[in-house]
Amino acid sequence: MRFAQGIRVRCGDPDGLLGLLAEWDRNQATTDVMGYIGTRLLADRDDPGCYLIVAEFAEVDGDLSPAEEAERNNHREETERWVQKLRALVDGEPDWFHYDELYRTGITGNLRTG
């Protein structure tokens, strides 16, 4: 079971958001394996300028749940620095959501299919 952290923001600079996420991923890719496994950035068609960042987490060594891995990630210094950059980029305070994944289409174990 995975865990998803949603961050809903209002932002006039979507390229800035893209850059911020790409920079984060580049840095994460070359560090030790942690709970964070990837992000999606979604634009709200009904509310232009509104975006949803969905960060996904999975188990690492089996000793912590994905949600606990996400919590551990929240307390990392680089995460806190990233959140500061995000706050500087967006309008107002981001809204945060936390979801345990219960179902995903076409997934067997950890495998991406389709």
Partner 1 sequence: MQPEGSNEAHVPIDEAQLIARGTASAVEPLDGITRAQASLLGAVLSALMGRQIDVTRLEPLGPDALATALAARPLQFRHRIVHHMVLGELILRPIPPEVARRVEVYALALGIDDRFVRIARRYAQGAFGLAWLDLHHSGFAEHWERARKDQLRTRVTLEHQLAAGAEDHDLAERWMGFADLAPGTLGRGVWDMYRSRGFGLPGSIGGASAYLAQHDFVHVLADYGTNLQGEFEVFALIGRADPDPKGFAWLTTLLGLFETGYVADAGFFSGDLRERQLDGIEMHLRIADALRRGQSLCERLGTDLLDVDYHAFAGLPVTEVRAELGVDPKGERAVAAGSVGAFDLAGMSRIQQEYAASIDEGVARR
- In degrees and rounded to multiples of 5, residue 93 shows phi and psi of -90, 135
Binding to partner 1 in span 2-21, by CB under 8 A: 2
In this chain, which of 8, 10, 28, 79 binds partner 1, going by CB under 8 A?
A: 28
Q: Long-range contacts of range 74-80, CB-CB < 8 Å, 24 or more positions apart? A: 78/27
Nearer of residues 39 and 50 to partner 1, judged by Cβ: 39
Task: Give yes or no for residue 26 binding partner 1 (CB under 8 A).
Answer: yes
Single out the residue of 86, 6, 71 nearest to residue 35, CA to CA.
71
DSSP secondary-structure letter at 48?
A: T
Nearer to partner 1, 39 or 49 (CB): 39
Tell me how far, at minimum, the Cβ of 82 lies from partner 1, in Å.
15
Q: Which of 87, 104, 113, 112 is nearest to 2 (CA)?
A: 104
Residue from the set 15, 61, 77, 93 that interacts with partner 1 by CB under 8 A:
61
Contact between 88 and partner 1 by CB under 8 A: the answer reads: no
Please select the residue that binds partner 1; options are 13, 14, 19, 25, rule is CB under 8 A: 25
Residue (of 88, 28, 14) closest to 60 by Cα position: 28
